[in-house]
Amino acid sequence: DAKTTQPPSMDCAEGRAANLPCNHSTISGNEYVYWYRQIHSQGPQYIIHGLKNNETNEMASLIITEDRKSSTLILPHATLRDTAVYYCIVRASLSNFGNEKLTFGTGTRLTIIP
Amino acid sequence: DVKVTQSSRYLVKRTGEKVFLECVQDMDHENMFWYRQDPGLGLRLIYFSYDVKMKEKGDIPEGYSVSREKKERFSLILESASTNQTSMYLCASGARGGYTFGSGTRLTVV
């Protein structure tokens, strides 16, 4: 399984873009990058995922480098409600049936400063 | 919206008790998962299931078992609860990494 490395914490001013980095230098060609976030006392929430192209949805943008060894999650206009722990995950296949599991690390604690 | 419902938000059990944590999802997903979350350790996968009556061990299965008799329900069983199983337990369902999590059960074993 490809492992991910994220900074333990980051701050961002409200209204600014929050850029959360993730290193996954051992990622395989068929492994996707997923981002989840966990707001205090809640279960994790899916944000976005991608394989090699950049992706955007209503919550965020995902930029994956050409060599796929790192990625950045961008929250374009951070609000106080974006304060959470953000997890970068590489999806791994497990078992002969090709089913998958998500392995969470400890993530990045993002604090939005008013 | 997909709903994943965990039967209890808070639970207090005694050491040695058999504990059942229930999880129900309403979107006909094949895959269901049980994680535990502890401060400084992130989420760790205990067991997962990709079909009825099928199960696979995750990273920390010791001391736990699971049951999946129906597609919508995935139960986590602590055969003999111990204090080191005090934790937040999170259930998830989904496919292809797009998982929906329940709100969690905070279990305290005394």
pLDDT of residue A96: 43
Confidence of residue A67 (pLDDT cuts 50, 70, 90): very high
pLDDT of residue A92: 63
Q: Tell me which residue in A49, A94, A103 faces B56 most closely, judged by beta carbons.
A: A94
Mean pLDDT of A27-48: 90
pLDDT at B7 over 90: no
Interface of B with A (CB under 8 A): 4, 31, 33, 35, 40-45, 48, 50, 56, 58-59, 90, 92, 94, 96-104
If you average pLDDT over each of B1-5, B7-11, B50-54, B86-90, which comes out highest? B86-90
A41 vs A25, more confident: A25
Interface of A with B in 35-94 (CB under 8 A): 41-46, 49, 87, 89, 91, 94
Per-residue pLDDT reduced to its tens digit, B17-48:
999 999 999 988 888 999 999 988 888 999 99
Q: DSSP state, B104?
A: -
Q: What is the CA radius of gyration of chain A?
A: 14
Mean pLDDT of A47-66: 94
Cβ pairs A/B, distance under 8 A: 61
Per-residue pLDDT reduced to its tens digit, A15-31:
999 999 999 998 988 88
For strands B10-13 and A92-94, give the pairing: unpaired
Structure token digits, residue B42 = 């992130």
Say how many C-beta atoms besides its own lie within 10 A of residue B105's C-beta: 22
Confidence of residue A100 (pLDDT cuts 50, 70, 90): low
pLDDT of residue B2: 63
Q: Is the sign of the CA dihedral B37, B40, B42, B45 positive or negative?
A: negative
Residues 6+ apart with CB under 8 A from A99: A93, B31, B48, B50, B56
